Amino acid sequence: MYDAIIFDNDGVLVGRTPFDTLREAAWTAFESMGITDPDPDHVETVAVGTTPEELTSICSTYGLDPAEFWRVRDDVTTQAQIEDVHAGRKTLYDDLAALRSLDVPLGIVSSNQQATIDFLMDHFDLDARFRTAYGREPTPAGLRRKKPDPHYIERALDDLGAETALFVGDNESDITAAQAADIDSAFIRRPHRRDWDLEIDPTYDIRDLHDLVPICMAALWALDLVSSLLSRGVVSGQHGPRCWGHDHDDHSGTTHCSASIILPGRVILSMTSPVLIYDGDCPYCSMAAVALERLDDIAALSWYADPVEAFLHAQFDAQPFAMILVDPGRETVYAGRSAAQELADRAGTPEIVGSLVRQNYETIAGVVGSLTRRGRDPADYHDQYPLAAAAKPSLQRLEVAATADAQTAVSSATDGADAESHSWGPNGQPRYLPPISASRTHGVIGSTA
């Protein structure tokens, strides 16, 4: 779970300043320093995106002191943005209300001037929402420390006491700065970035601030479930929960654990027990499988297990990529939202949580699909289906495989070194739990097929 979320400002929380405003401010800065006919290219360079080296070179052309010129430039630019705010040309995005659902400390790190950020915080009454807010100092040193340098992000992390934060931005420099600070990143596709081609991979690719809610919700569920399982002895380990069983390689360079977790020593299930088929790469679905360990009569089997394909084709005449609960006793197959709701009901989950799972199934699945790089959307199977006669002969192999996974888990519980080597990522995190640092995204979170 993330213990803080830090945001870029312009283009993320507040609308971007029009370039014409910035260019006019740059002209005014030159005129204030006695330069009435500067090179238009110099004006545009100073207006946005300049570097300390470019600033020094331009100022030398006109015999200006870089520090003094930059202070004037920043003062004029801040005043121009204040005027834009008062005129209604620079406003908050209308999805900031989504931040009320994020139960973690929030901060701001912007490459805009500190004076501009201070004004925006006061004018839009943002102090109650954000515990810390950094712009850059109006100096060449401040210019050098802006993103992609992680300087201000690291200061914000210290202020928030955060170690596993998420940074949300709309520029590649934001993603680079987050990576340099060793935290996850989310690239937000505001209208001005809707079709932007990135040359660097964020952890998440989101449409708006609402998409942060299921990201954090999935992480919270993971933490709560693992904490509960640890307290009950369902999982154990020197560093945290383990995932025992078979691995598979998705050719992305990461080996994913795709087995169920089971209470060591539990009684092997009967051949008529329900079986949960889930995506072994999916943190949410893995959590569902783990949660079911409180139920003594349900086994869990990875969607990638060999017998699953035959069963699904016999049942659906297809291999839908979805969470499936097979109950031979009831001769019923639950899929997608219906499976999530049935799991919640059987596990005694409060109704409000069960409804939340059912109503947000695609959003949650989309989040974890992007997070785990599985590169596909959940199939549109969400009903209860009678167990097909053609699928019944496949049940035995399905149940045998699930029972074999249970036996493997019990055996592996005594082999900590082997389990450790199969279940932990490069940062010491369980492979089936978010966040997965710097994972490649293949779509927009929150979209559905």
Least confidently predicted of 25-39, 262-276, 419-433: 419-433
Cβ atoms 262, 313 nearer than 8 A:
no
Supply 92's token pair: 């908050």
Alpha carbon separation from 151 to 111, 141, 148, 177, 438 (Å, rounded): 11, 11, 9, 9, 19
Give the pLDDT of residue 345.
74
CA dist., res. 121 & res. 191, Å (int): 23
Distance from chain centroid for Cα 353: 21
Q: How many CB atoms lie under 10 A from the CB of residue 353? A: 12
Give the pLDDT of residue 417.
36
Per-residue pLDDT reduced to its tens digit, 137-164: 999 999 999 999 999 999 999 999 998 9
Cβ atoms 203, 439 nearer than 8 A:
yes
Per-residue pLDDT reduced to its tens digit, 218-239: 555 544 544 444 444 443 333 3
Cβ atoms 446, 214 nearer than 8 A:
yes
The mean pLDDT of the chain is 75
CA dist., res. 420 & res. 424, Å (int): 6
In terms of pLDDT, which residue wins out, 403 or 65?
A: 65
CA angle 189, 194, 195 (to 5 degrees): 130
Give the pLDDT of residue 361.
52
Tell me the fold of 5-15+90-207: Rossmann fold (3.40.50)
In terms of pLDDT, which residue wins out, 364 or 403?
A: 403
Q: What DSSP assignment string belongs to 10-79?
A: BTTTBPPPPHHHHHHHHHHHHHHTT-SS--HHHHHHHHSS--HHHHHHHHHHHT--HHHHHHHHHHHHHH
pLDDT reading at 446 higher than 70: no
Reported as a pLDDT band with limits 50, 70 and 90, residue 404 is low
Give the pLDDT of residue 42.
97
- 295 DSSP 8-state letter: S
Average pLDDT on 256-262 reads: 29
Average pLDDT on 348-358 reads: 50
Supply 116's token pair: 């501009």
Alpha carbon separation from 421 to 239, 256, 416, 425, 432 (Å, rounded): 12, 11, 9, 9, 14
Give the pLDDT of residue 292.
52
Least confidently predicted of 192-196, 241-245, 399-403: 241-245
Would you put residue 370 in left (φ > 0), alpha (ψ -120 to 50) or beta?
Answer: alpha
pLDDT reading at 119 higher than 70: yes
The verdict on whether omega for the bond into residue 148 sits within 30 degrees of 0, i.e. cis, is yes
* Domain boundaries of the chain, sorted by first residue: 5-15+90-207, 19-86, 234-423
What is the pTM for the complete model shown? 0.56
Q: Which long-range contacts (CB under 8 A, 24 or more apart) does 44-53 make?
A: 46/73, 47/19, 47/22, 47/23, 48/19, 48/22, 50/143, 51/143, 51/144, 52/140, 52/143, 52/144
pLDDT reading at 410 higher than 80: no
Per-residue pLDDT reduced to its tens digit, 236-248: 333 333 232 333 3
Give the pLDDT of residue 48.
93
Give the pLDDT of residue 230.
47
Give the pLDDT of residue 211.
86
Q: 429 burial class (0-12, 13-18, 19+ CB within 10 angstroms)?
A: middle
Give the pLDDT of residue 297.
65
Per-residue pLDDT reduced to its tens digit, 66-110: 999 999 999 999 999 999 999 999 999 999 999 988 889 999 999
State the amino acid at position 191 in one-letter form: P
Q: Find the radius of gyration of the CA atoms of the chain.
A: 26
CA dist., res. 220 & res. 5, Å (int): 14
Q: Which residues contact 14 (CB under 8 A, 6 or more apart)?
A: 90, 91, 92, 93, 120, 124
Average pLDDT on 105-121 reads: 97
pLDDT reading at 444 higher than 60: no
Give the pLDDT of residue 263.
29
- 265 DSSP 8-state letter: T
Give the pLDDT of residue 377.
62
Least confidently predicted of 5-14, 165-174, 296-305, 434-443: 434-443
In terms of pLDDT, which residue wins out, 378 or 408?
A: 378
Distance in Å from the first CA to the final CA of the chain: 27
